[in-house]
Amino acid sequence: MSERPLQQWFVVQTQVNCEAKAAQNLVRQGFEVYLPRYLKRRRHARKIDFTAKPLFPRYMFVAIDMATQRWRSIQSTFGVSRLVSNGDTPAGVPDGVISSLRRREDDKGFVQMERGPVFSRGDKVRVMAGAFIDNIALFDGICDRDRVSILLDLLGQKVRVSLDVDMVAAA
């Protein structure tokens, strides 16, 4: 008979932009914390860089042994808004959620996001930013890792334009 682990994962809601502060304070109290992060691509002044961001803004996971740990102290921890609960009982995270997130992490600990559009050639897309904002176009294909090719109807003819992946969405 396999013995179930004593600790179970629960969800903590943090104050705005206080995920790191809450994690640090919970670790000081002896809790195991998991704050999944990913690298967010940012464009600024014609330059692209990546910044570490929480995968679930304002939320993190904490492992609690309900029998031995003083879990109610989580509610009054600096940086924490509340422990997500069903009434007075903390709501547990289903088995496998944390392990599946950890399997998607790279060697630096960042969760790898699925990249690229899920469009097929000929699908209608809307341009979300840039000079052609709010124009409807046809998806033509993928140029490279970060760019897509679309066909815009300009002055009565189809013109192929290459845009960043983030600049198009389903119409």
Of the two residues 139 and 165, the one the predictor is more confident about is 139
pLDDT at 115: 61
Cβ atoms of 66 and 84 closer than 8 Å: no
Can you tell me the distance from the alpha carbon of 33 to that of 80, in angstroms, rounded to the nearest whole number?
13
- Residue type, position 87, single letter: G
Report the SS3 class of residue 50: strand
Under the banding of pLDDT at 50, 70 and 90, the label for residue 67 is: confident
The pLDDT, as a whole number, for residue 5 is 56
For strands 157-164 and 147-154, give the pairing. Answer: antiparallel
- Residue 138: CATH number of its domain: 2.30.30.30
pLDDT at residue 6, rounded to an integer: 77
Question: Which residue is associated with the tokens 């570490």?
Answer: 52
Range of the domain at 163: 124-170
CATH number of the domain that residue 17 is part of: 3.30.70.940
CA distances from 135 to 1, 43, 138, 139, 161 (A): 62, 21, 10, 12, 12
Domain match, 19 and 98 both: yes
For the chain, where are the E strands, in sequence order? 8-14, 32-34, 37-44, 47-54, 59-64, 80-83, 85-86, 89-90, 124-127, 136-144, 147-154, 157-164, 168-170
* Enclosing H/E stretch for 91: none
Query: pLDDT confidence of 2, banded at 50, 70, 90?
Result: very low
With respect to residue 76, please indicate whether it lies within any of the assigned structural domains.
Answer: yes
Do 44 and 90 sit in the same domain of this protein?
yes
**pLDDT value for 10:** 96
- pLDDT tens, 95-123? 889 999 999 999 999 998 766 557 888 99
149-164 confidence digits (pLDDT tens): 999 988 888 999 988 8
Same-domain pairing of 133 and 79: no
Regarding pTM above 0.75, the answer is: no
- On the question of pLDDT at 3 being above 60, the answer is no
**pLDDT tens per residue across span 12-63:** 999 999 999 999 999 999 999 999 998 887 777 777 788 899 999 999 999 9
β-sheet bridge partners, residue 160: 151
Give yes or no: residues 76 and 142 share one domain: no
Helical spans, DSSP H, in the chain: 19-28, 97-103
